[in-house]
Amino acid sequence: MTQANLGAGPALHADPNCVFCKIIAGELPSRMVYTDDTVVVFKDIRPRMPVHLLVVPREHIPDLEAIEPRHEGILARLLLVAAKVAADEGLARRGYRLVLNDGADSGQEVFHIHLHVLGGRRMGPMA
Ligand code: 5GP
Ligand code: ZN
């Protein structure tokens, strides 16, 4: 895990009402475990698994309906970083689940896209 670059930086196209934009800007506290120029990773405030991390792009993209071709690199980075932090948490060998909730039926709560990294115990089938 890189510890040298954990400083907060501004969110791109930040939405002043968005809780994740505020975390990225350092206006709200979080337990940050990784940052780079494109994404940040912090611990979910209400963990549903022994490991529950959120991989969040710095750019405020509300949902998948808002993604554009120019976001291709960001979307790839979300997966690459999810795999890296999962490995850093010791999950690579035993496995883990990535979740992206999109829209009302999924229960999406924060409209700033993010991947959940969930692991640390055996999971049942997805609902
Ligand atoms: P969603 O349902 O949108 O996919 O997931 C949003 C997640 O963000 C939830 O698991 C919720 O616990 C988490 N969350 C909401 N507010 C905060 C916060 O202020 N800090 C952190 N660390 N997590 C949050
Ligand atoms: Zn946001």
Closest residue CA from atom 20 of ligand 1: 45
The residue range of the domain holding 58 is 19-119
Q: pTM here?
A: 0.93
> Is there a domain that residue 13 lies in?
no
Could you list the mean pLDDT of each consecutive 10-residue stretch along the chain, which spans 127 residues?
46 86 96 98 98 98 97 98 98 97 97 98 93
> Is there a domain that residue 29 lies in?
yes
> Is there a domain that residue 14 lies in?
no
- List the 32-35 sheet strands across, edge first: 32-35, 39-43, 51-57, 115-119, 96-99
Instruction: Give me ligand 2 centre to Cα 93, in Å.
Output: 32
Query: How many folded domains does the chain comprise?
Result: 1
Backbone angles phi, psi at 107, to 5 degrees: 85, 15
- Six-digit token pair at 86? 């999962």
CB of residue 105 inside a 6 A radius of ligand 1:
no
Q: Which residues pair with 56 in a beta bridge?
A: 40
